[in-house]
């Protein structure tokens, strides 16, 4: 199987079968927090996709050239958190300097990503699965896309719930949790498909 087909299958299975939010339950905090409007959900997920892709690449390099040679893989979590935090800060500065328009669109979401567990999750999963550099980057990118798919779908439903006639006890957050559960169950249907 050529590398290209392999990568396409990897990203498809990440987006649908092993969806980060709805199947692996990573990044639940922003999934519930910034999903009230489709536009903000889209902004957040674009920022997450960007950071996850870059973080996959950087953490792979740290793992391969720093942690493994010195035999301290057990410090993974600490090192990865450090890398991600620095990366987010740096990306924020660069965007603010060179693209104020993009900064205004993503600006408020970027600092939130530092503590997004989906980003740390993708870095750790890369190591666990033993992916090489190119696989890691593709996995990170499609992980971001899977986050986008989940949160945008959810935000679309929540926008409609705003005007729906909901029983008083379920209004607000309870119905959001029920909705999230139903969407996650729908995504379970994909795990019947094997790639």
Partner 1 sequence: MQILIPVIILGVLGLVFGALLGVAAKALKVEKDERIEEVLELLPGANCGGCGYAGCSALAEAIVKGEAEPTKCPGTKKENVDKIADILGIVVQEKEKMVAKVLCSGTCDKAAAKYEYEGITDCVAAQRFGGGEKSCSFGCTGYGSCVSVCRFDAIHIENGVAVVDDEKCVGCGMCAAICPKSVIDMIPAKQRVFVLCKSKDKGAVLKDICSAGCIGCKLCEKNCPNSAICVTDNLAAIDYSKCSNCGICVEKCPKKVISIR
CB of 96 to partner 1, least distance (A): 5
Residues in the chain: 195
Is residue 102 within a helix (H) or strand (E), and if so which, with residue range?
Answer: helix 100-106
d(C-alpha 114, C-alpha 16), whole Å: 25
Taking the least distance from each CB to partner 1, the nearer of 2 and 163 is 163
CB of 183 to partner 1, least distance (A): 26
Taking the least distance from each CB to partner 1, the nearer of 29 and 93 is 93
Long-range contacts, 8-13 (Cβ 8 Å, 24+): 9/195, 10/135, 10/138, 10/139, 10/142, 11/138, 11/139, 11/141, 11/142, 11/145, 12/142, 12/195, 13/195
CB of 133 to partner 1, least distance (A): 19
Residue 26, phi-psi category: left (phi > 0), alpha (psi -120 to 50), beta (remainder): beta
CB of 11 to partner 1, least distance (A): 30
d(C-alpha 4, C-alpha 44), whole Å: 29
Taking the least distance from each CB to partner 1, the nearer of 8 and 105 is 105
User: Which token pair is 49?
Assistant: 């996709």
Q: Which residues bind partner 1 (CB under 8 A)?
A: 62, 66, 70-72, 75, 78-79, 82-83, 86, 89-90, 93-94, 96-97, 100, 163
Taking the least distance from each CB to partner 1, the nearer of 110 and 149 is 110
Taking the least distance from each CB to partner 1, the nearer of 79 and 175 is 79
The three-point CA angle 4-5-11 to 5° equals 90
Taking the least distance from each CB to partner 1, the nearer of 66 and 170 is 66
CB of 175 to partner 1, least distance (A): 17
CB of 20 to partner 1, least distance (A): 26
């Amino acid at each position: 199987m050529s590398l290209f087909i392999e990568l396409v299958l990897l990203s498809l299975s990440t987006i649908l079968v092993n969806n980060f939010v709805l199947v692996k339950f990573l990044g639940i905090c922003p999934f519930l927090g910034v999903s009230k409007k489709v536009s903000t959900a889209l902004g957040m997920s674009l920022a997450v996709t960007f950071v996850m892709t870059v973080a996959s690449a950087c953490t792979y390099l740290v793992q391969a050239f720093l942690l493994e040679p010195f035999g301290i893989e057990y410090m993974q979590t600490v090192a990865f958190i450090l890398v991600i935090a620095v990366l987010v800060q740096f990306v924020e500065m660069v965007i603010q300097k060179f693209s104020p328009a993009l900064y205004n669109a993503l600006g408020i979401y970027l600092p939130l990503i530092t503590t997004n567990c989906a980003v740390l999750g993708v870095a750790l999963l890369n190591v666990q699965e033993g992916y090489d550099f190119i696989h890691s980057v593709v996995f990170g990118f499609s992980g971001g896309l899977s986050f986008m798919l989940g949160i945008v779908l959810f935000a679309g439903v929540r926008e409609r719930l705003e005007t729906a006639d909901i029983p008083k006890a379920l209004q607000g957050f309870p119905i959001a949790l029920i909705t999230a559960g139903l969407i996650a169950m729908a995504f379970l249907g994909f795990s019947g498909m094997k790639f």
